[in-house]
Structure formats: structure tokens, C-alpha cells
Structure 1
Amino acid sequence: MAPKYKLIYFNVRALGEPIRLLLSFGKQEFEDYRFEREQWPTLKQSMPFGKTPVLEIDGKQTHQSAAICRYLGKKYGLAGSNDWEDLEIDSIVDTFTDFRSQIAAFFYEGDEAVKEKKKGPVLETTVPYYMDKFEELVAKNGGYFVGGKMTWADVYFVGIVDYLSFMVGFDLLEKCPKLAALKRTVESVPSIKAWVDKRPSTDA
């Protein structure tokens, strides 16, 4: 009997969307279990380390979005062609996490005065630095992040970039034609496109 998949996450794209895109790429049916923020305190107790997203496979819970995506990437043929490419994929995905963490540091700041103070350097320095580096890397690799072909790193980036744009308040891909083209390429894969066309509409 085929394994049963269930993704548990907030009713947003954010860190859950790369997983949803990879499951869709693999044509894997899955339960897209979404919950609202007021439900989280109750659910949190049953989540590994009190974190989400969580992917259940036949009732077994797995966590950490990058680790889940790495597993699915290997499963669906989107890993590197060799150990070096796998290292490059892991490195760039960890860099996406570094980038997201720096944006999140201001976005989720509760003190408005401190938030405003943090926001300027992130938008003026951090964002251009990372986006330029990402654009250069994709240009150098034939339209992809690693190896001149689509890997789970590309799917991961496409999955989170709308969330990152939401946090900074503007379209991060507006001045990045190579990255914008990569997003179109990933989202045009028929099984991914089918998911994008039917997924719930959310801000991030």
C-alpha cells in the first residue's frame, strides 16, 4: 500500500511551500493540513521540538523544512549528480536560511522602534547583497542554482521567495531577471503548476 503523507503547517506558504511543491513534483498525494495561529499553542505540544512544518509519513513525524526537502529531492530525482553537487545544494539552501533569518530578525521584532532601526540596514544592504549573489549564481549555472539543471535547491527557493517578498514589502525578483525566469521554469512543471493553480490564496 502506498505511504500516506500529511503536511502540518500554518495557513501560509512560507516554509511549508517548498515541501508542497516537491510533493507535487513527485505526484505524491498528500493531506495539506493547515491551522490558524490561535490553534498553534495546542498543536505545538504534539510537534517535534515544538516546531512546524512537520511532514507525517505513515504516521511517523519528520521535521525541519530543509531536511524534509532534501529527503524528497533525493526521492524524486532532484538531488545532485554527485557528492560535490549535493554539497553545493546544501550550501545554497543553508544560505537561503541565513538570508531568511536576517529578514525575519526585523520582520518579527515586537518593538516598533527597534524594528524600524533594524529594517533600514536589511533593506539597504542585506537584501541587495544576497539577491545579487543569487542572481549571479543562477546566471553562471545556466539558469539554475547548481549543475545547470533543476534540483531541489531551485524548488526550495521558488517555494520561499514569495514569503521573503512579503516580509520585505516588495517583489524581490523585480530586478532579478534570471531568478524570475527560474521561478517561471519551476512553476511551469506540469505537476507543480497543477498545485500552484489550486493552492489556497494566502499573503505569504
Structure 2
Amino acid sequence: MLNYKLYYFNVTGLGEPIRYLLHYCGVEFEDYRFQDFDEWKNHFQDKMPMRQVPVLEIDGCEKLHQHISICRYFGKKFNLCGSTLEEDQRIDEVMYDINDMRLSIANYYNETVVEFKAALKERMLSKLSFFLGKLDMLASKNGQSFVRGGITWVDIYYAGISEVMSNILERDINEDYANLTKLVAHVRNNNRIKAYLEKRPKTII
């Protein structure tokens, strides 16, 4: 059996959708969380492929990086992809739509210049509303999933990353979208994910 170790900070962030997916698939792994920035910078940063995290280490040697790529890897490994090439294309489309939305929120969150932040907020909220509306329509058509009648890795990814986006904005971004709310609840009601959510460390974000 392979040994997995996920390196990330003690926050939800880009590590959370990976954690969701690993728990959903029943993969045992060490959830290694840096205790502070100094630990990361002084002991780990230079050991990572691109000097950033999340990184998933396999058997103490091979390191996978880029959070979307890691999620896709486990989607393929545990048959959580589409049943056709076209369905996989749709999954990727949804994935990058979600990531566009996430980046818009991240840019707003990381901006420190007050006047720029105000402009970014207006643009971000408009983009958020547009994307959430489109994603809600997809979830409506496909029965608690984005692409087909069963859960794929992008549904699990969304349940994890939408929690991160909600934490940043200090409100549930899905609350006005009934189909997205059902999709996320469906994922989080998985017994393994539910157990993880109950025991995971309490973090600010």
C-alpha cells in the first residue's frame, strides 16, 4: 500500500479540496500542517518542486504538486472521472470556471491598497454572481453533480473550495443557490468526509 503525506499550512485553502477528495476515496494519508510560516520557510520550502504547497508526497520520495492536478490524479485513480472523453472535457471546463471564480476572490482578498480593493470587490462580486448562477444551472440539470448523474472529482473539489471561498467572504456563497447547496451537502454527507469535518483542526480560514 502506498504511503501518502500532504504538506500544507494549518488552514483550509488549496489543501482542503485535496483533503476532501482523499477522505472521500478512503485514502489513508498524513495531513502534515506547518505550525507557522518559519517552519515552512526554513525547513520545507526549498524541498518542494516549485517552492510552494500543497504538495502530496508518495512513499517518501515522489512529490506531486499543483492542487488541481493532484485532484484530477485521484479522480482518475478512483474512477471519479467521466465515462467519455466529452464528459472529462466538461469536468475540466467546470474545474477551470471554478478556479476563475476562486482567483477573483483571492485577488480581492490579497489586495492591500484600499482604493484598488474597493474596485476589485465590485468586480469580484459581479463575477461571483455570474459564475454561481451558471454552476447552479449545471447542478440542476445533472442531479446533485456538475457533469453527470453521479459524483465526479470536480463535485468534491467544489465542496471543498467553496468552503474556502465562503470563509474568505464570511458568508456561505451557495446560500442563494439551491442546487449548489444540495450538491455540497451531498458531498459533505459522505460518511468519511463527515468524520473528517468533525475532527479536523479549527482554523480561522
Specify if TM > 0.5.
Answer: yes
Q: Distance in 1 between matches of 2:96 and 2:190?
A: 25
CA RMSD of aligned residues (A): 1.3
* Offset, 1:96: 1.0
Question: In structure 1, how many angstroms separate the alpha carbons of the residues matched to 2:119 and 2:189?
Answer: 39
Q: Distance in 2 between matches of 1:122 and 1:23?
A: 30
Unaligned runs of 5+ in 1: none
**Pairwise CA distance, 1:23:** 1.1
Q: Find the aligned partners of 1:159 and 1:116 in 2 and give their Cα distance.
A: 27
Per the alignment, residue 4 of structure 2 pairs with 5
Alignment correspondent of 2:87: 85
2-structure distance, mates of 1:170, 1:26: 28
The match for 1:148 is 149
Verify the 8 A CA contact 2:144 2:186 in the aligned structure 1: no
Distance in 2 between residues matched to 1:52 and 1:199, nearest whole Å: 19
Q: How does 1:48-63 map to 2 (within 5 A)?
A: 48-59=49-60, 60-63=62-65
- The residue aligned with 2:39 is 39
Please state how far the C-alpha of 1:4 moved relative to its aligned partner. Answer: 0.5
Superposition deviation, residue 164 in structure 1: 0.6
- Provide the TM-score with structure 1 as the length reference: 0.94
Secondary structure of the structure 2 residue equivalent to 1:48: coil
> For 1:165-176, what aligned pairs fall within 5 Å after superposition?
165-176=166-177
Gaps of 5+ in 2: none
Match of 1:135 in 2: 136
Aligned partners of 1:24 and 1:67: how far apart in 2? 17
Superposed displacement of residue 33, structure 1:
0.3
Separation (CA, whole Å) in 2 of partners of 1:9 and 1:97: 19
Distance 2:33 2:159 in 1: 20
1:86-117 Cα distance to aligned partner (Å, 9 max, x none) = 11111111111111111111110122232122
Deviations 1:19-77 (A, max 9, x none): 11111112111100001234332222211111210000112110011110011111122
Partner of 1:126: 127
Per-residue CA deviations over 1:106-144 (Å, capped at 9, x if unaligned) read 110122232122112212x11111111111110111121
Letter aligned with residue 41 of structure 1 = K
Identical-residue share of aligned pairs (%)? 41
Partner of 1:71: 73
Residue range with higher mean Cα deviation, 30-39 or 133-142: 30-39
C-alpha distance in 1, partners of 2:168/2:20? 21
- Look up the equivalent residue of 2:135 and give its one-letter code: F
> Which whole-Å CA distance do the structure 2 matches of 1:37 and 1:181 have between them?
36
What is the rounded CA distance, in whole Å, between the counterparts of 2:102 and 2:46 in structure 1?
Answer: 25
